[in-house]
Amino acid sequence: MSGINNNRVNAVMTSDQLANVKTLFAAIQAQLPFLVGLSPAERVNLPKINVSNKAFTEDAFNALRNNSTLFPPFMDTNALQNDLSLFAQLDELSAICRQLSEKIDDTRIIAGSEAYTTALSVYRISEAAAIAGMPGSKAIYQQLKARFSYSPATSEAGTPTPEAGAPTEN
């Protein structure tokens, strides 16, 4: 668990860095103009290649390519070869993208967790200061307390609240 004294990520991107990353993502998308989007139903219903049926698909391609007289002329050997090649290329890119996406998500989660944990500490310290009668602390505490004024039943699942015993820094 991270806390106020355990800051695993302490970074901010400059506006130029963020703009450059966005530009690079746009450049990647521009290199792949053939990419398509699927509906949720298509994602579920389309047959998909896996380890076992990839070998089957390759065998079928070889059968089609080497025995063209057995198959109707509308079965396009080149189209099947292109699909298999593109699948392999995108499979490689997909793995790279998943790794990057996981790191971006993990870092975003850590940064958000550290910010929220520190904010909870600010809340608790302002509460203690208000109870102790420290000048100006009551207004801060009242402002922050408003965040927790709703019912725990309506709170976001897994989001700790002071009332629910949110973790404190160690």
Task: For 71-122, write each residue's pLDDT tens digit.
Answer: 999 999 999 999 999 999 999 999 999 999 999 999 999 999 999 999 999 9
Does 127 map to a domain?
A: yes
Does 17 map to a domain?
A: no
Does 29 map to a domain?
A: yes
> What pLDDT does residue 147 have?
84
Boundaries of domain holding 31: 24-164
Does 31 map to a domain?
A: yes
pTM for this entry: 0.73
Instruction: DSSP for 24-57, please give it.
Output: HHHHHHHH-TT-----HHHHHHS----HHHHHHH
Does 2 map to a domain?
A: no
Does 11 map to a domain?
A: no
> What pLDDT does residue 153 have?
55
Query: How far is 139 from 152, CA to CA, in rounded Å?
Result: 23
Domain count, the chain: 1
Give the confidence band of 167 by pLDDT, cuts at 50, 70, 90.
Answer: very low
Does 117 map to a domain?
A: yes
Does 68 map to a domain?
A: yes
CB 3 within 8 A of CB 119: no
Torsion of CA 52, 57, 59, 64, to 10 degrees: 170
